Amino acid sequence: MECEEKHIRIVAVKGSVRPGNYTGMALDLVADEFSKQAGVEVHVVDPAELSLPWPGSGGGDDTDKLQALIEGATGVVLSTPEYHGSYSSTIKLIIENLGFPSVLAGKPVALLGVAAGQIGAIKALEYLRSVCSHVGTIVLPGPVSVAGVQQVFNEDGQCLDERIEARIRGVATGLMNYVHQNICPRATLEAMVREKSDS
């Protein structure tokens, strides 16, 4: 079976719950880029629509749904604004609700960050990369950081800079390249081995 015939599932997680947040605007571009790919299903997780418990307070229906969604994903995108020199509490809450061992373990994960400052979300992405590595994800190189985000998007969520838009959309193409080069060949090989053992 060719890779292009497989059904690839991507989960893209929004790391902010503020109305009209720039993180969501950037993630929408990534999701749109995924939607252009044949055989790819993308699901955007908006934490504002979930009722997730704080760590140590037990699970719930939304926790179970979130874990099942991530567990079934071929790849994951985590997005975050930079708050106080780190990633958002929202994205931390998402990660805490994925259990330990985490259902993120073994998944390829692409990172996207936005910030108001001139240096972008570099610190947030560094800390997020560390946490993702700790729970066993395959963190892809080249995380995308968007600086001065208020000047990059207008109030309608349109990106005003073609070069930056291309970089943001590159989160999707980078993850898809990894999937096609690493996951699809492995899945094809496993299918061939199963077919041979069944014959």
Provide φ and ψ at 101, rounded to 5°.
Answer: -60, 140
Looking at 1.10.10.60, 3.40.50.620, 3.30.930.10, 3.40.50.360, the CATH number of the domain 3-198 comes to 3.40.50.360
Nearest to 76 by CA among 122, 121, 27: 27
pTM, to two decimals: 0.90
CB 141 within 8 A of CB 108: no
pLDDT in tens, the chain (199 residues): 234 445 899 999 999 999 999 999 999 999 999 999 989 999 999 999 999 998 877 778 999 999 999 999 999 999 999 999 999 999 999 999 999 899 999 999 999 999 999 999 999 999 999 999 999 999 999 999 999 999 999 999 999 999 999 999 999 999 999 999 998 876 554 554 455 555 5
